[in-house]
Chains A and B, each alone.
Chain A
């Protein structure tokens, strides 16, 4: 459904998926309304026949065949399944954390999980602020919000697995939200879902060439707390954006809390001139933690494609002249072999487990047990599913007794997964930065450019500049699951899985830091990077040109 068409699932599964979701929404509405107190029939309040019938209800044998439609086994178990799996979800993130990271993930579920991750990692995430309405969705505590989160999460997963179309998913969640608002069960009151839908900015892929040029130049920017040391990673020039991505180190500030609260984007400004004398101003957007800062300087106006060169100046450093004409970025090879959407979804859940294992307690929620249980319930996946068997093998390797896959025979663990698990405790990564400029083709309605690799002893991170297509603009239901998975294999044979760890989405654009687990092998000289999506996979190999970390 990367192109926004009809879901690929066959009609029966599609109908069961939508019914499952709508019944879940009904159940959550009823839960929010508060069921009337359950009163068991007392001797004086119920008739004898009723009491007898309640104790021993007759079997349905005679009536079942004609009374029960095909959906009945499904609806019978929706709520039971929800109850069974819901208890193991991570606690909801704080509203602030959700706001900060929700836009990045674009997904209620991902917001809950990833925001916790963000909090634990001590990152201050700065969203690419485009719409103040970002904070309006799934905000605040309470059973109504929790129920809405639950439905939104599963709607996202079903849309990602192409069991229902995005419009249906949005319609169901918006319908529930409107029903809750119509009963004053949501605050702020009157936050009608449709308003946000219509106000939502929708992205589009760049129309025209995307140019990426590696820079690898150091720069220093003065701040009131001392110099900010940066490496200019790459220049990206597209019809709708012009950016220089940066990675750097913040000056030492005694109080870490003050560092996190400080808005470091203030001093991070830049400018550029081109060969025709036109001038461009740049401002920073990105994220920072206790010592590091990553992000991009966005130039306005956007330099024209006809410009021969740009002279970029950031901070007090000498300007860097970047030749635009004749640049040859590394482009990825595309293998357009489509994957089954449900299988890809399950694999993406396994990848999330692998990539979130460094977060204490996050692995279980990353697997989305509710979604797996629902997929099995509606018959979208069977125990014979290769992806489900891989997931079962992963859980077995991790010693996790997930009831959703207990009856699933194990498959062999894929080599990349096993490699990640084998090296997950490695701390042998070198410290350095390698500029990259790899332009990837469209996959699942997204485009991206990888612009730099930062290596540290226990992990590594990739800087990603991306675009989301028309149906996946903020806040996408498919969100994180629609973005292709990113894998890498270094020349020493070690595999790495990527997880989003900072940055943000806005207006169809993304500037994201991806954390690679485990660290890059110290002897690696090149990196093969793979993007895996439903519509295919793209692969590029880049040499690693290490520079000292600023």
Chain B
């Protein structure tokens, strides 16, 4: 696809309680913004310095923290029919930790992600936090927004290099590695609990944000060789592609074998075996599945050739094993609708 991955997404909005009032959060063009915080960048810096961090700003930071987090794909929705029921009690339960533990409060000082927990604030760690906050996107941003978007994995690579240059003063996730809580490996339990609680809060923003966060992660992961994350990505793809193919062919999802592959092909198993096999790249998740384009009017969409929401040109299969046809499609639901996107073919 020549267009960016987010070109098939419309904007999405949600409200979040911040400082005792309801504030808006807006996702558009791959970025999460907090329109009610015109000095969001400054607030983020203040938070990094140990000042109070408004809830909205904390969510923006969390969005960035989880923009390449494989846990998003593990917890997130598999289809539009897959409803998550997380609520604030779940996040609170995690935030307070197990019985007998100290509850996790937002720690004063630098944003913990990427900084060795418990270490005193240094100019290096402050610089690190600031880097993560502002290097999110190379493009110019309108005043009054702090954004997180794709490319987090690449930034992690840069940060890892910086970390090495700083003598290992920073902790950064290895690009391409699966990130999950690793008991007994020295990770900070408080930080891990907070990280998971933040993820639940992001999922609480609703299905529109759940799909967009999933797309963000898939897009970030598809930029690089999967490395040790290949098994997790293969499972994430299978968990979403198999139901789509099954719905397309009216077969059982268990009869669909999925694999990561650049070929974008659906074929028979061969050898008289039951079922089909499907190969798609990880980017199919961000470009096709997440915006609700997997199935359009009985066609399985395999790729996007041009997109500018609500219109897109796609390649789609009418039958397995056939050549994909070029179709023009359009999203029929409203631009800011929280409903499931409904795409229709407008030109064959």
Contacts from A to B (Cβ < 8 Å): 4, 15, 18-19, 21-23, 25-27, 29-30, 33, 35-36, 38-41, 46-47, 49-50, 52-54, 57-61, 63-64, 66-69, 71-72, 75-76, 79, 83, 133, 166-168, 170-171, 174-176, 178-179, 181-184, 190, 192, 194-200, 202, 470-471
Q: Are B258 and A75 in contact (CB under 8 A)?
A: yes
The 6 tightest CB contacts between A and B, nearest first, are A57-B268, A199-B98, A22-B235, A53-B319, A171-B180, A60-B267
Residues of B within 8 A of A60 (CB): 267-270, 277, 321
Q: Are B85 and A182 in contact (CB under 8 A)?
A: yes
**Known contacts A15-B230, A67-B263; is-contact A170 B183 (Cβ 8 Å):** yes
CB distance from B246 to the nearest CB of A (A): 8
The stretch from B4-12, B70-78, B330-338 touching chain A is B70-78
- Given A35-B243, A470-B184, 16 further pairs, Cβ under 8 A: A22-B234, A30-B242, A36-B247, A54-B249, A59-B268, A60-B277, A68-B259, A69-B279, A182-B90, A184-B85, A190-B90, A192-B196, A194-B94, A194-B192, A194-B196, A202-B184
In the assembled complex, B135 has its CB within 8 A of some CB on chain A: no
**Known contacts A36-B247, A75-B258; is-contact A30 B253 (Cβ 8 Å):** yes
Q: Give Cα distance in the complex from A178 to B254, angstroms.
A: 22
In the assembled complex, B99 has its CB within 8 A of some CB on chain A: yes
CB distance from B50 to the nearest CB of A (A): 25
In the complex, the chain B residue whose C-beta lies closest to that of A27 is B254
Q: Are B250 and A63 in contact (CB under 8 A)?
A: no
In the assembled complex, B217 has its CB within 8 A of some CB on chain A: no
Q: Contact partner of B267 among A35, A67, A133, CB < 8 A?
A: A67
**Known contacts A30-B243, A57-B276; is-contact A69 B74 (Cβ 8 Å):** no
Residues of B within 8 A of A200 (CB): 183
Residues of B within 8 A of A183 (CB): 82-85
CB distance from B71 to the nearest CB of A (A): 7
Q: Are A63 and B234 in contact (CB under 8 A)?
A: no
**Known contacts A4-B184, A15-B231, A47-B298; is-contact A68 B261 (Cβ 8 Å):** yes
Q: Mark B78-92, 1 if CB is under 8 A from A, else 0.
A: 100111111001100
Residues of B within 8 A of A198 (CB): 97-98, 101, 183, 189, 192-193
Q: Give Cα distance in the complex from A471 to B189, angstroms.
A: 16
Q: Give Cα distance in the complex from A27 to B234, angstroms.
A: 13
Residues of B within 8 A of A30 (CB): 78, 239, 242-243, 253-254
Q: Are B265 and A195 in contact (CB under 8 A)?
A: no
Q: Is the contact region of chain A dominated by helix, strand, or loop, or is it mixed?
A: helix
**Known contacts A23-B238, A75-B259; is-contact A36 B81 (Cβ 8 Å):** yes
Residues of B within 8 A of A76 (CB): 257, 269, 273, 275, 277
Q: Contact partner of B320 among A22, A53, A69, A470, CB < 8 A?
A: A53
Residues of B within 8 A of A166 (CB): 183-184
Residues of B within 8 A of A53 (CB): 319-322
Q: Are A133 and B98 in contact (CB under 8 A)?
A: yes
In the assembled complex, B141 has its CB within 8 A of some CB on chain A: no
In the assembled complex, B34 has its CB within 8 A of some CB on chain A: no
CB distance from B218 to the nearest CB of A (A): 15
**Known contacts A4-B184, A19-B231, A38-B251; is-contact A33 B82 (Cβ 8 Å):** yes
Residues of A within 8 A of B254 (CB): 27, 30, 35, 79, 83
Q: Are A63 and B89 in contact (CB under 8 A)?
A: no
Q: Are B94 and A192 in contact (CB under 8 A)?
A: yes
CB distance from B200 to the nearest CB of A (A): 7
Q: Are B200 and A182 in contact (CB under 8 A)?
A: yes
Residues of B within 8 A of A15 (CB): 230-231
In the assembled complex, B13 has its CB within 8 A of some CB on chain A: no
Residues of A within 8 A of B275 (CB): 76
In the assembled complex, B60 has its CB within 8 A of some CB on chain A: no
CB distance from A256 to the nearest CB of B (A): 37
In the assembled complex, B252 has its CB within 8 A of some CB on chain A: yes
Residues of A within 8 A of B81 (CB): 36
Q: Are B265 and A63 in contact (CB under 8 A)?
A: yes
Residues of B within 8 A of A75 (CB): 234, 238, 257-259
Q: Contact partner of B279 among A35, A67, A471, CB < 8 A?
A: A67
Q: Are A69 and B259 in contact (CB under 8 A)?
A: yes
Q: Contact partner of A22 among B181, B185, B189, B232, CB < 8 A?
A: B232
Q: Are B74 and A72 in contact (CB under 8 A)?
A: no
Q: Are A68 and B279 in contact (CB under 8 A)?
A: yes
In the assembled complex, B182 has its CB within 8 A of some CB on chain A: yes
Q: Are A29 and B181 in contact (CB under 8 A)?
A: no
CB distance from B184 to the nearest CB of A (A): 6
In the complex, the chain A residue whose C-beta lies closest to that of B82 is A33
Residues of B within 8 A of A36 (CB): 81, 243, 247
Q: Are A190 and B93 in contact (CB under 8 A)?
A: yes
Q: Contact partner of A199 among B101, B249, B263, B270, CB < 8 A?
A: B101
15 contacts between A and B (CB under 8 A): A18-B231, A23-B238, A53-B321, A59-B267, A68-B279, A76-B273, A76-B277, A171-B181, A174-B180, A178-B71, A182-B200, A195-B193, A198-B97, A198-B98, A198-B183
In the assembled complex, B312 has its CB within 8 A of some CB on chain A: no
Residues of B within 8 A of A25 (CB): 235
Q: Are A26 and B200 in contact (CB under 8 A)?
A: no
In the assembled complex, B260 has its CB within 8 A of some CB on chain A: yes
Q: Contact partner of A41 among B82, B242, B250, B263, CB < 8 A?
A: B250
Residues of B within 8 A of A184 (CB): 85
